[in-house]
Structure 1
Amino acid sequence: MKKRHIALAALGIIGIGAGTAAYVATPTIHEGAPGETPELGRFGEYSVGTQELTLSMPGRLTFGTLGMATGATEPETRELQVRVYYPAEARSVAPQITYSHTMNPPAMEPVTLEFAGRAHADAPAMGTEQVGGKLPLVIMSHGFNGWNTQFSNLAEHIASHGYVVASIDHADMTIEATSDFLLSFSRVLVSRSLDQRQVLEQLQAASGPDAEGFNALIDPEQVAVIGYSMGGYGALATAGGDYDYDSETFATVPSDALDQLRAAGSEDVGVGAVIAFAPWGGQPDNRVWSSETLSKMTAPVLVVSGSQDDVSNHAEGVSWVFDQLTGTNRHMLVFREARHNIVGNAFDLPEDAPFRTAEFLKEPVWRQGRINGINQHFVTAFLDLHLKGDEDKAGYLDVPTVDANAGTWETSFGEQLNGKFAGDSEPEHWRGFQRRWAAGLEMYSKAAGE
Structure 2
Amino acid sequence: MRKLALTVMLAVSMASAALPACAEWVIGDARPDAPELAARGAFKVGVRTERIVHRDQFDILRASESNRAPRYDRTLTLELWYPAQLAPGQREAVQYTDVLGAGANNPARPNTPFTFAGRAARDAAPLPGKPYPLVIVSHGYPGSRLQMSYLTENLASKGYVVVAIDHMESTRLDRAGFASTLLNRPFDDQYVLDTVAAWARPGSGHFLSGMVDAGHTALVGYSMGGYGALVAAGAGIEAPALKPLGVTDTAPFASLLHGAARTLDTRIRAVVAFAPWGGSRGLWQDAGLAQLRVPLLFVAGEDDQIAGYADGVLRLAQQVVHAPRYLLGYQLARHNIAPNPPPPASHANPIDFSAYAEPVWDSARINNINQHVVTAFLEQALRQRDMSAWLAPDSPASPARSIAGVHWRYWPAAEN
> TM-score, normalised on structure 2?
0.85
Structure 1 pair 332/345, CA: closer, same or farther in 2 (3 Å)? same
* 1:28 and 1:35 in contact (8 A); partners too: no
Gap runs ≥5 in structure 1: 1-26, 401-426
Residue 240 (str. 1) matches residue 205 (str. 2): no
- 1:218 aligns with 212
Higher percent of residues as helix: 1
* Aligned-pair Cα RMSD in Å: 2.6
The letter of the residue matching 1:135 is: Y
Could you tell me how far apart the structure 2 residues matched to 1:60 and 1:302 are?
31
Structure 1 pair 175/363, CA: closer, same or farther in 2 (3 Å)? closer
- 1:194 aligns with 187
- 1:273 aligns with 270
Could you tell me how far apart the structure 2 residues matched to 1:168 and 1:446 are?
30
- The Cα shift of 1:97 comes to 1.0
Indicate the larger mover: 30-39 or 167-176.
167-176
Could you tell me how far apart the structure 1 residues matched to 2:235 and 2:261 are?
8
What is the CA deviation profile of residues 129-165 of structure 1, one whole-angstrom value per residue up to 9, with x for unaligned ones?
xxxx111001000010101011111000011000000
Could you tell me how far apart the structure 2 residues matched to 1:264 and 1:119 are?
42
* 1:249 and 1:287 in contact (8 A); partners too: no
- 1:150 aligns with 147
Could you tell me how far apart the structure 2 residues matched to 1:269 and 1:382 are?
20
SS at match of 2:345: coil
Residue 87 (str. 1) matches residue 83 (str. 2): yes
Could you tell me how far apart the structure 1 residues matched to 2:164 and 2:107 are?
29
- 1:444 aligns with 409
User: Percent same amino acid at aligned positions?
Assistant: 31
- The Cα shift of 1:231 comes to 0.2
SS at match of 2:339: coil
Residue 39 (str. 1) matches residue 36 (str. 2): yes
What is the CA deviation profile of residues 21-58 of structure 1, one whole-angstrom value per residue up to 9, with x for unaligned ones?
xxxxxx99564521111111001100100111111112
Aligned length: 383
- The Cα shift of 1:60 comes to 0.9
Structure 1 pair 66/77, CA: closer, same or farther in 2 (3 Å)? closer
* 1:98 and 1:115 in contact (8 A); partners too: yes
* 1:174 and 1:184 in contact (8 A); partners too: no
- 1:20 aligns with none
What is the CA deviation profile of residues 175-199 of structure 1, one whole-angstrom value per residue up to 9, with x for unaligned ones?
89xxx98x61111100111100111
- 2:10 aligns with none
- 2:96 aligns with 99
Compare CA radii of gyration and give the structure with the larger one.
1
- 2:160 aligns with 163
List aligned pairs for 1:362-441, cutoff 5 A. 362-391=357-386, 393-400=387-394, 429-431=396-398, 438-441=403-406
Could you tell me how far apart the structure 1 residues matched to 2:282 and 2:17 are?
42
- The Cα shift of 1:112 comes to 2.5
- 1:110 aligns with 111
Structure 1 pair 208/110, CA: closer, same or farther in 2 (3 Å)? closer
Structure 1 pair 304/352, CA: closer, same or farther in 2 (3 Å)? closer
* 2:186 and 2:232 in contact (8 A); partners too: yes
Greater relative contact order (Cα < 8 A, sep 6+): 1
* 1:203 and 1:215 in contact (8 A); partners too: no
Could you tell me how far apart the structure 2 residues matched to 1:347 and 1:140 are?
19
- The Cα shift of 1:201 comes to 0.9
Could you tell me how far apart the structure 2 residues matched to 1:355 and 1:37 are?
28
- 1:350 aligns with 345
Gap runs ≥5 in structure 2: 1-13, 20-29
